[in-house]
Amino acid sequence: MGSFQRSAPGSGVGGRSRVLTVLARCVPFAIALVVVGIEFSPAHFLYTGPLLTATPALAAVTMGPRGTISAAAVALAVSVSTATYNQAWGSQQVYTNFLAILLVSAASVMTSRFMRTRRRNELERIRRIAEAAQRVLLRPVPARLGPLRTASMYLAAESGAQIGGDLYEAVQTRYGVRMIIGDVRGKGLPAVRSAAVVLGAFREAVHYEDDLVEVVAHCAAALRRERAMPWAIDRDDDEEQAESFVTVLVAQVPDRSVVEMVNCGHPPPLVLRRGTVHALMPPSPLPPLGLEDLITGPLGEAESYVFLPGDRLLLHTDGVLEARNRDNDFFALPEAMEAVPTCAPSEFLEELHRGLLRHTQGRLADDVAMIVAERLDGEADTPTAPHDAPE
């Protein structure tokens, strides 16, 4: 694991929202119970008609058509039962209340259907926008880049989400294939904005900077500029923004049989060689973007590791390593990689994806991003003193 990790996202806000939703849906039925208590007690002389009339209207606000029909049926049943118990049939008040409940129920069901259709259309429109944004921000990497076969995958933990705080990219440059993978500490739109800023800076700098460290420096400078903007300062979550950072790993695969990396607090990548997985641990990991003040002096140099033809390199975010099952066990990523049979990079990621979902029973607690790069057979120079993975 890298030196810096973000905590798994909490469920406090989402949990409170679900509780409030359940309570709101119980209100119409609670009102019906109150009416029953009044009508079957000595206080039945109190006029409870407006309370029953309001139950289907309240249900239409928080429930769909079926829930509204259920609330209307309960209101009608209570009205009939109380009128029978109190021997009130024949009075104008009973028939007026009964007619009012029918009219309000019919209107509430129609309103509920209209609101559900409108919400469905709005959700579909938002989903299309999110998919378009994802294609721009997190577009799939090409199947072939220089001497590599590549594939990518992104899984958002939030149900219905298309984009989160993880980022990745792989491009062909005159310096070789350059890749980045990162993880924003944070959530929501601020995390997406930070990811977009870092990716934009990377996509620009990789074509002009021959030094990987300088590419990372450009990403860090872009993030600092973004945080200095007025829209990033005038926020209610200033404290959370001030504590946020972005862990990134930038890699470069030149023509030689090596991979060069700059690791800024990110989980180390894994290389699969002849059926065995090795972690490419950085000798001296750098702090994440946004925490550069923790070090003094230059950022250092890129580290080189052996990357031979046939090797598979997996760049990933901590959402993979920190995925847990019901017994709170972490996902064994190295073992999962070793268990995947020989296949194309895209199929390799699909197998990891299926294994991850089996481990977590389909419930991810954090976003997941992965890039796999396989070096193809071909002429390659002998590497000069890289950090070799253990055999």
In this prediction, residue 2 carries a pLDDT of 35
Q: What is the pLDDT of residue 214?
A: 93
Read off the pLDDT band of 267 (50, 70, 90): very high
Average pLDDT over residues 248-262: 93
pLDDT of 385 strictly over 50: no
Residue that wins the pLDDT comparison between 18 and 383:
18
What per-residue confidence (pLDDT) applies to 163?
58
Q: What's the pLDDT tens digit per position in 294-349?
A: 666 566 788 999 999 999 999 999 888 888 888 888 889 999 999 998 899 999 99
Question: Model confidence at 230, in pLDDT bands (50, 70, 90)?
Answer: low
Return the pLDDT at 171.
Answer: 94
Q: What percent of the chain has pLDDT over 70?
A: 80
Q: What is the share, in percent, of the chain residues with pLDDT greater than 90?
A: 30
Amino acid at 180: I
Domains along the chain with CATH numbers = 12-129 (no CATH), 138-375 (3.60.40.10)
> How far is it, in rounded angstroms, from Cα 137 to Cα 167?
8
Q: Mind giving me the DSSP string for 67-120?
A: HHHHHHHHHHHHHHHHHHHTT-TT-HHHHHHHHHHHHHHHHHHHHHHHHHHHHH
Tokens representing residue 44 in the block: 């039945």
| pLDDT (0 to 100) of residue 205 | 94
- The one-letter code for the residue type at 29 is F
Angstrom distance (rounded) from CA 32 to CA 354: 47
d(CA 103, CA 8): 49
> pTM for this one?
0.67
Which backbone phi and psi does 32 adopt, to 5 degrees?
Answer: -60, -40
pLDDT of residue 6: 37
Give the H/E segment covering residue 204. helix 188-205
Q: What is the pLDDT of residue 7?
A: 36
Q: Lowest-confidence range among 168-177, 233-242, 339-348?
A: 233-242
Q: In whole angstroms, how far apart are CA 67 and each of 34, 119, 163, 324?
A: 19, 16, 32, 36
Q: Is the model's pLDDT at 23 over the cut of 80?
A: no
* 185-225 pLDDT per residue, tens: 876 677 788 888 999 999 999 999 999 999 999 999 998 88
Q: How far apart are CA 173 and CA 193, in angstroms?
A: 25
d(Cα 100, Cα 195) in Å, to the nearest integer?
Answer: 55
Is 304 within 8 Å of 232 (Cβ atoms)? Answer: no
CA–CA distance from 116 to each of 64, 72, 113, 161 (Å)? 7, 18, 5, 20
Rounded distance between C-alpha atoms, residue 141 and residue 355, angstroms: 22
State residue 37's pLDDT score: 77
**Residue among 124, 19, 107, 22 at smallest CA distance from 63:** 22
Give residue 323's Cα distance to chain centre: 13
Determine the pLDDT at residue 45. 66
Give the pLDDT band of residue 243 (cuts 50, 70, 90): low
**Rounded CA gap, 66 and 64, in Å?**
6
Cβ burial 30-55 (10 Å sphere, 16+ → b, else e)? ebbeebbebbeeeeeeeebbebbbbb
Query: How confident is residue 272, by pLDDT bands cut at 50, 70 and 90?
Result: very high
Beta bridge partners of 312: 272, 374
Report d(CA 179, CA 231) in Å as an integer: 30
The distance between the two most distant Cα atoms of the chain, rounded to a whole number of Å, is: 101
pLDDT value at 161 more than 60: no
Q: What is the mean pLDDT of residues 267-296?
A: 86
- Residue-wise DSSP of 16-54: HHHHHHHHHHHHHHHHHHHHHHHHTSTTTTS--HHHHHH
